[in-house]
Amino acid sequence: MRLLVGLGNPGTKYAHNRHNIGFMAVDEIVRRHGFGAWRGRFQSQCAEGIMDGNKILAIKPETYMNESGLAVGAALRFFKLEAEDVIVIHDEIDLAPGKVRIKQGGGHAGHNGLRDIDAHIGKNYHRVRMGVGHPGLKERVTGHVLDDFSKADMVWLSPLLDAVAESFPKLAANDEKGFTNTLGQIIGPQAPPQKTKDDRET
């Protein structure tokens, strides 16, 4: 069994924010692969699906971003899983828009959702880092991630969400290279999986 966690903030106010790209990706995975209906559980919205005979529980925490670990920790303990059974999809300001990297372990680089998950389950989970770009100045980061994607962003965002959803079964089967290769075939070359614990790669 795997836990698939999308990070974001709940509510329509935040639905189209850059910070919510994790929610968007998980929504598309759930839709494309015919998961069951969303329902409230573990302080989150959950949907269950099967990929290649393996159960996948998709989770969108209903806490705000900085308390994402509450839902993840509760689900992990309930199903008696380990951190390495968790895949977290989140926004990454240190990657250009449309770029994706995957890694296991490492630091949170100031991402409050990852910081809270680290506190609840440790750091050895898998991360799908979806680039949303950096505004250039540190003091502009909060406004940047809490701004909505623009119409111009849809040129790369919609195909990216489709590609991540189509490629996800590879990642669910622990085939990180296969995920990256499939993603690259759809939207162009991506960086190889990252397993370093260097915070600069977070």
Q: Looking at the annotation, which residues are catalytic?
A: 19
Encoded tokens for 40: 């409230």
Distance CA 133, CA 31 (A): 26
Helix (H, G, I), strand (E, B) or coil at 72: helix
CA neighbours within 13 Å on the CB side: how many for 26? 33
Crossing angle of helices 21-32 and 154-172, rounded to 10°: 60
For tokens 């969108």, name the residue: 60
> Can you state the percent helix, strand and coil of the chain, rounding each to 5?
45, 20, 35
Sheet with 54-61, side-by-side order of all strands: 39-41, 44-51, 54-61, 2-6, 86-92, 126-131, 100-104
What lies within 8 Å, CB to CB, of 30 at 6+ separation is 38, 47, 49, 58
- DSSP label at residue 122: -
